[in-house]
Structure 1
Amino acid sequence: MSPRKDCCVICGYDIRDYGTLEGKWLMEFRAIGINNSTDDPLQAPSDPTKRYDDENYDRHLTKEFYVTFCWEQTIAFVSHDACWKLFEEALKPDNIPLKRFIDICSSLPLIQIMGLFHWGHTYGGIYTFDNISAFPWEYSFLDQALDAEALRCARVNPWNIPTLRALMAETAHKPPMAGAPILNESSDCFRQFPWEIREAIANKLSTRDALSLRESSRAFQPLLASSTFWASRFQPGLDREFLFESYRRPEIRDWLSLYRSTSQKRSPPGLKNRTRIWNLINYILPLLKLRLAHDESRDWAYKSHETRLVEADAKLMQLVHRRNGSSNVLNDGCRLLKTQQAHIPQSLDSIALSFIEVGNHGHLTGICFSSKDGMKTQLGYLFPNGTMVYKVEDLSGFVLAIDPKGVRGVKIVHSNGDRSAWFGFPEMTPVTERLRVIDTTKPIRVSVDVRNRAPFSLQFLII
């Protein structure tokens, strides 16, 4: 067996003692999971309020929290303490939903030789996909990237950044930039609004969209000199939100200078690493918000010898709990959490499909059948921001683009054979027509996994 390696479940970099003061943060980790007593090399206080370097902490006298999540079992997941603090910042004022996060991590395939969980992305460029020995729809093996700059920045503390403090001090207490509207173009519909209203409009836009608006409307020409606009770039949801120190300390500041100094090209290494990790956290946030639909659906228990199925499914793996609290490791595909069943309404009016994109993949997360009398039958996870509605009264079945992780694309088939355009992310994915013609009077069954990046298996009862 190869030497064990542990990687942060958030940032993907090693949890290792490099023997330097600058690299100390890489060995400070948080353990999230189930307490277990083993001779594991990674140990932490079982009390979440304690740290290993507390003066009154003695690991020989205190019950330990042992971390074992590689090789043959999963007991806990680890992240750098600095990455966990950034995770907490990204969710404020809410707390991290630990149970949901553990469920999500439990459904991640594990590259055992690397101690690395596979989210479907390259952890911000510090790994590469193996696109030679795997099909595009399969989990590509990750290997360490050859980008020396990305790897160098990944070793720098993203939480404690001394150069950032100096930069904040340098841009503080400078007078705001002058900027006042001076144009009165009669052909510009925005000119009727006071400048404060125009600023408020621009503040809600991404920087790229706001600057495009400035190019198309002379009423927004003074935007570059607006301190209010550049200050808004550091608010949650916009492109400098990771610099949370700035908007939590309201000061007079040269916001444009701070914006320019914190670009990816000019940022210090620690801030580049923070930007990378913040983007990775933003992949996780939508998954934390997904909730299983329970309205019109119910769990489905059936006896296989009494039931025949026609199905199109992903590579599903049952979750197996061991006596010590650990669970079996997932190497590929997706983790089966739950099955749901419902009948398709006979007076069908429309079908809503929910998709979510995480990393380099997008998958179906939920389906909702609406009847003409307004009743809804919902299955899976419904994601409002990623839902598309298709009007259909004469459903024949579905054509699916499906890979080992779930359904990536859907075509809806009418009873006359007509098909809708693709919904979702069907590119470079195998297509099946097993469900092109179904008996819509029979129940539909779906299987979903924990995180629902790899969620769906569709199955229909047949006689």
Structure 2
Amino acid sequence: MEVEFRCVICGLYIHGANETAQSWLQEFRTVYSSPQGLCVTGVGLYKQANAGHFTAPTSRNQTWSTIGPDDEVATIRVMSQPPAADNTHGFLLHASCWTLLEKYVAPHEVDIGRLLELCVSVPYAAECHGLAWDHCYGDLIYRDEKSGYPWEDICRETDPEHEPQPRAKRYLNNDPCKVNLLRLQKDLVSKPPNGPKDCSFVGDCFAQLPLELREMIAELLTTQEVFNIRSAARSFWPIFESKAFWKSRFRFGGDREFLFEALEQKDKIDLRALWRVTGRFRKNCLGNRRRVWAILQTIVPLMDARITPVAPDQPGVRQGPGAGVSGHSHADISTGPHAVYRRGCAIFHKRRLYWPEKIVRIAASLAGAGGATYVSGFQFHTEDGPSASVGYLSPNQQACTIDSQIVGFLVAVDSGGLRAIRVLTSSNQQTPWLGDPTGAPVTERFIEAGPFLQVGLAFDAFKIVSIYFDTGRSTDPWQTETGVVNLRRMALWYPCVPPSSLHLVDQHPHWTSNFEPVTWTTFGGPRGEHLKCLTNVFVTRRLAITEIDFQFSDDAPPESDTSLGHCGLCDAGENFEIHGAEGEIITSISVAYESGDLYFEPTIEEDVLAAIKIETSWGMSHAFLPEGTREEDFHFKELPTEKDTIITGLYSTQHPIHGFTGLGVITETLPDILAASETNPCMSQLREAEEFDTCSDYESMVHADV
């Protein structure tokens, strides 16, 4: 079986070579780190696909077809292959994609170190045998949000809904480095469209400007913008006869910059006609070039970003009360980029700074790889004038003004890092989000954390992956009087922080700053109105429990459908019937956990939810157990609830693959529904049921009138 990996640039596979056909898809380079430094190989031909050996000349100027018997070659372990004993490890890209990358960054050289850092900062999608870039290689892969949460980086190869059409597949085989301009020339129609017959410039303010100035203005605009101006200002019609204008369309920043060869032809090609004929990007000729170039437009700005240097007066780590939040960060790998991981983020750099006084403005720099945007750096402006900067600063910024002392923050973070931050002040100001919190868990653990003394940040190759605040308090402000943490305040909640009307029982003596989002849902509806429509609880498991689905009658409001967790395509399910219409409600939920290493390989540190038991106001109960086990095999523990409340929801923590690792109940104070459940006619039958010895007699009586 051939071992194939995707190119880190274009996303197509490095194919194994054979004797009958050769293709650009079989030629590769490896960018890698070793004890000798950061390198890129020459062009190799993937001949040993069965063994997964990627052998190429060590000299970047050589190719597999030109090396002699005395020339040095190297076989580098790449992608998900484990590093060599000396930590040598690399990433693959097609030789053609490397050439396009060199063209894009010219006249500068490719920064191999930054390219490697960037590759390590992107999770490896084992299902797709390549890096899980947010840009998805121009739809070669897709993110499966049906089988997981938005932050879980679940990528798939294809499915019928996402698979490219046959015509689109054909252009993917074209070498993106080679464009046949002679073939394009055959389709050129040099005769331009006719301009307006009436050349009157009445009311046209641009007509007062020399043509040279109008050309300079047009070159700074997109072609579509110039078309729009032409409709309102006739003085811009001559721009479309300007060779300088059409040359600007093919220069860096123009909408045909990917067709850079056109400028090398000087006056041999009518650039205006070429612009028109390439309007649909010629799927059979230019499609792959345009796709790869668009990917480079996303990647190269991230490679060009530089983190602010360590400040000379950077504070040391302070031991004291504080709080932090992090993406799913892995071990500090700043010593060398030689690791891949399936989800989360890496850490390359750390910065600390004293909290500036009298802040009047905060600007957040934003960065992304084609999908979600992340906060990459901050600029703090103060009343005294000087500003403090930290991180990767970019022109893409969002800023807010601060009207009084900062007392806290709302923070949105996903597995990849810091998505957005919102400032809270002593005057009750709540600024707009800096960044985009869409699809990210949110925490309130910083809303009353001030006064701040220091802030610590960790970064991968282009974004903030964790943030930590040191406070001036002598005690931990996030613990309750009973010595447990305030769960509503400390947890990282999705889809939002639960409102105060929902009761959560605080039962954790501490809470980690690591990425452990708590997802929650309610099935009771507003003031418990949906409880009377509840018909079933459907529990899905792989080995551990992965999803709990609450099902309702046909006359229930559409918004009543709700579930907690995510199940896979092959997970098995089990059902428990609830008679909500007759007043039956859930009164208790008990859980049983087992060590994850009893179920999964490789082992996981957390315990997983092996079984749950539900009891109702009718005295009915049902245990959801693994196949082949009995209720007596588990030690169930009832989940605590607030007194005189009704269970209307659940919250959980969940491993992306293995299932629930924690479960809690959400309750509401609903005295009318509680009283109705206690006076239900079935309750008297339940007391009589104690006289029955068998479950069959008991069930037949309880449901006799149902």
Shared fold per TM-score greater than 0.5: yes
Within 5 Å, give how 1:404-443 maps onto structure 2: 404-443=415-454
8 A contact 2:57–2:74 mirrored in 1: yes
SS at match of 1:233: helix
Aligned partners of 1:68 and 1:299: how far apart in 2?
A: 37
SS state at 1:104 partner:
helix
1:20 positional shift: 8.4
1:165 Cα deviation after fit:
3.3
Correspondence 1:62 to 2:75: no
Q: Say which of 292, 309, 321 aligns to 2:322.
A: 309
Residue number in structure 2 paired with 1:248: 264
Which one of the candidate residues 36, 48, 67 is aligned to 2:60?
48
Task: Find the counterpart in structure 2 of residue 261 from structure 1.
Answer: 277
Q: Is the aligned partner of 1:366 residue 2:388?
A: no
Task: Check whether the contact 1:347–1:372 (CA below 8 A) recurs between aligned residues.
Answer: yes
Q: CA contact under 8 A between 2:2 and 2:52: conserved in structure 1?
A: no
- 1:65 shift after superposition: 4.0
SS in structure 2 at match of 1:29? strand
1:234-383 maps to which residues of 2 (within 5 A)? 234-264=250-280, 267-294=282-309, 296=311, 302=317, 306-320=319-333, 327-383=338-394
Rounded Cα–Cα distance in structure 2 between residues aligned with 1:358 and 1:409: 16
Following TM superposition, by how much is the alpha carbon of 1:113 offset from its aligned partner in structure 2, in angstroms? 4.0
- 1:459 aligned residue (449, 468, 482): 468
Contact kept, 8 Å, 1:309 with 1:461, in 2: the verdict is: yes
Report deviation, 1:352. 1.6
* Mapping 1:158-237, distance limit 5 Å: 158-162=176-180, 164-168=181-185, 183-237=199-253
* Conservation of the 8 A alpha-carbon contact between 1:297 and 1:377: no
User: In the alignment, which residue of structure 1 is the partner of 2:458?
Assistant: 447
Alpha-carbon distance between aligned partners in 1 of 2:25 and 2:265, rounded to the nearest angstrom: 28
Question: What is the CA-CA distance between 1:177 and the residue it aligns to?
Answer: 9.0
C-alpha distance after superposition, 1:81-138 (max 9, x if no partner): 1111111111111111111111111211101243201111220122222121122233
Shift of residue 386 of structure 1? 1.0
Does structure 2 conserve the Cα–Cα contact (< 8 Å) formed by 1:399 and 1:433?
yes
1:386 maps to which of 396, 411, 414: 396
Question: Secondary structure at 1:243's aligned position in 2?
Answer: coil
1:279 to partner: Cα distance? 0.3
Matched length: 450
Distance 1:364 1:321 in 2: 20
How many angstroms apart in 2 are the aligned matches of 1:375 and 1:355?
Answer: 22
What letter is aligned with 1:15?
A: I
Distance in 2, matches of 1:397 and 1:150, equals 50
Following superposition, the deviation at residue 143 of structure 1 comes to 1.7
| Shift, 1:296, TM fit | 4.1
Please list the CA deviations of residues 269-308 of structure 1 after superposition, one character each: whole Å capped at 9, or x if unmatched.
24110100000011111111211112647666548xx444
Q: Does the 8 Å CA contact 2:188/2:277 hold for their aligned counterparts?
A: no
Separation in 2, partners of 1:340, 1:321: 13
TM-score normalised by structure 2 residue count: 0.59
Describe the shift of the 1:321–1:400 C-alpha distance in structure 2 as closer, same or farther (beyond 3 A): closer
CA displacement at 1:251 relative to structure 2: 1.1
Contact kept in structure 1, 2:452 and 2:470, CA below 8 Å: no
Distance 1:223 1:63, change over 3 A: closer
Aligned AA (1:25)? W
Question: Displacement, 1:345?
Answer: 1.6
C-alpha change, 1:342 and 1:299, in structure 2 (3 Å) is closer
Distance of 1:209 and 1:30 partners within structure 2: 40
Change in 2 beyond 3 A, CA 1:23/1:204: farther
Task: Answer 1 or 2: which has greater strand percent.
Answer: 2
TM-score (norm 1): 0.88
Q: Secondary structure at the match of 2:216?
A: helix
Cα deviation digits, residues 405-428 of structure 1 (max 9, x gap): 112122111112220112222223
Distance 1:183 1:198 in 2: 16
**Displacement of 1:343:** 1.4
Distance 1:444 1:62 in 2: 49
Amino acid of the residue matched to residue 328 of structure 2? Answer: K
CA distance in 1, matches of 2:172, 2:332: 33
Query: 1:308-355: CA deviations, max 9, x gaps?
Result: 431122111114589xx7733221111011221111222222212111
Give the Cα separation in 1 of the matches to 2:325 and 2:387.
23
**Taking structure 1 as reference, are residues 101 and 181 closer, same or farther at Cα in structure 2, changes over 3 Å only?**
farther
Letter in 2 for 1:146: E
- With over 3 angstroms needed to count, the CA separation of the structure-2 counterparts of 1:235 and 1:326, relative to structure 1, is closer
Aligned counterpart, 2:155: 141
C-alpha distance 318-113 of structure 1, shift in aligned 2 (>3 A): same
The alignment-based identity, stated in percent, is 26
Equivalent residues of 1:299, 1:341 under 8 A apart: yes
Given that 2:367 and 2:376 are in contact with CA atoms closer than 8 Å, whether structure 1 keeps it comes out as: yes
Q: Distance in 2 between matches of 1:83 and 1:443?
A: 44
Aligned equivalent of 1:157, options 165, 171, 175: 175
Distance 2:154 2:168 in 1: 20
Q: CA deviation at 1:361?
A: 1.1
Secondary structure of residue in 2 paired with 1:329: coil
Q: Which of 96, 114, 117 matches 1:103?
A: 117
CA contact (8 A) 1:317 1:336 kept: yes
Task: Give 1:387 shift.
Answer: 2.1
Gaps (5+ residues) in structure 2?
36-47, 475-706
Q: Distance in 1 between matches of 2:212 and 2:225?
A: 18
Alpha-carbon distance in structure 1 between the residues aligned to 2:18 and 2:185: 30
Give the whole-Å Cα distance in 1 for the aligned partners of 2:64 and 2:360. Answer: 60
**Which amino acid in 2 is paired with 1:282?**
Q
Cα separation, 1, equivalents of 2:78 and 2:306: 28
> Is contact 1:297–1:341 with CA below 8 Å preserved after alignment?
no
Contact 2:408–2:449 under 8 Å retained in 1: yes
C-alpha contact (below 8 Å) 2:347/2:465 kept by paired residues: no
* 1:223-265, Cα deviation, whole Å (9 max, x unpaired): 4444443332111111100111111331153222211222235
Deviation at 1:11, TM superposition (A): 0.3
**Preserved CA contact (<8 Å) 1:125 1:150:** no
Deviation at 1:4, TM superposition (A): 3.0
- Give the match's secondary structure for 1:434: strand
Do 2:360 and 2:381's aligned partners in 1 also have CA atoms closer than 8 Å?
yes
Instruction: Flag the 1:367–1:320 CA change in 2: closer, same or farther, 3 A.
Output: closer
Larger Rg: 2
In structure 2, what is the Cα distance between the partners aligned to 1:5 and 1:299? 46
SS of 2:322's equivalent in the other structure is: strand
